[in-house]
Amino acid sequence: MNIAILGGTGKEGPGLGARWALAGHSIILGSRDAERARTKAAELRERTRKLAIIGHTNAETAELGQVIVIALPALGLASTLPQVRESCRDKVVISTVVALSFGGPRLFTPPAAGSSAEEAQQLLPGAKVVAAFHHIAAHELAETDQAIDCDLLLCGDDAEAKQTVGELGASMGLRGIDVGPLSNAGPLEGITALLATINRRYQRKSAGLKITGL
């Protein structure tokens, strides 16, 4: 599958790309700066020994991808997503975005839409937005020689889109848990703030989440 990662040169994007490349998927890393994307793609090809990793601008990346992953900063959605609206139409779009503000009065401040995933859906009418992959730290994604010890919680309004995201999670060893419609994305994203607080308080880096009883 061709997986396009908008903001693919940031913290989470390269780790997601590396793990999916190792699972046999083709990866397109997107960036505002095409040269930066190509440089990062070359680094990932060297790390993974997988050739199917390329870099483009975010707009070109969205056109090429079968599945689109949003790994942009929360404040960048409004400026970036309208440019790729038509390229995302009818495609599965995975939002990994969480509106965290370190150093402010609140660690988690969701947008007016209720969540970053719902904001993405508003900006991408016709796309099948699924919220997922929020609870895995960037450094865990990057350490591809180690398994990730947590569940993949995901939500969205399209059943087939959620199944696709669950399969992509399974390809990197994660158990997918469907937690309902996209309106649940706010609480789902907010868990990231709790995990960050736990990591800080207990001087850890890899606090995760597993659902018992299933």
Question: What's the pTM value of the predicted model, to 2 decimals?
Answer: 0.96
Lowest mean pLDDT among 12-16, 102-106, 144-148, 174-178: 102-106
Lowest mean pLDDT among 36-40, 83-87, 194-198, 201-205: 201-205
Lowest mean pLDDT among 15-29, 40-54, 90-104: 90-104
Residues in the chain: 214
**pLDDT at position 213, please?**
96
- Provide Rg for the chain, Cα atoms: 16
**pLDDT at position 204, please?**
85
Domain parsing of the chain, residue ranges: 2-201
Q: Measured between alpha carbons, how far is 127 from 139 in angstroms, rounded to an integer?
A: 29
- Whether the CB-CB separation of 152 and 210 falls below 8 Å is answered with no
Tokens 């992509």: give the residue: 168
**pLDDT at position 105, please?**
81
Tens digits of per-residue pLDDT, 58-109?
999 999 999 999 999 999 999 999 999 999 999 999 999 999 987 778 899 9
Tokens 């050739």: give the residue: 51
Average pLDDT value for residue range 163-180: 98
Q: Measured between alpha carbons, how far is 101 from 104 in angstroms, rounded to an integer?
A: 6
Q: Measured between alpha carbons, how far is 34 from 126 in angstroms, rounded to an integer?
A: 27
Type and span of the H or E element at 130: strand 128-131
The sign of the torsion formed by the CA atoms of 63, 91, 132, 103 equals: positive
Q: Measured between alpha carbons, how far is 62 from 78 in angstroms, rounded to an integer?
A: 16
pLDDT category, 145, cuts 50, 70, 90?
very high
Tens digits of per-residue pLDDT, 157-170?
999 999 999 999 99
2-201: which CATH topology? Rossmann fold (3.40.50)
Tokens 């402010």: give the residue: 104
Q: Measured between alpha carbons, how far is 188 from 156 in angstroms, rounded to an integer?
A: 11
Burial 153-164 (b: 16+ CB within 10 A, else e): bbbbebeebbeb
Neighbour tally for 133: CB within 10 Å: 24
Q: Measured between alpha carbons, how far is 57 from 78 in angstroms, rounded to an integer?
A: 17
Q: Measured between alpha carbons, how far is 61 from 24 in angstroms, rounded to an integer?
A: 18
**pLDDT at position 205, please?**
83
- The share of the chain scoring above pLDDT 70, in percent, equals 100
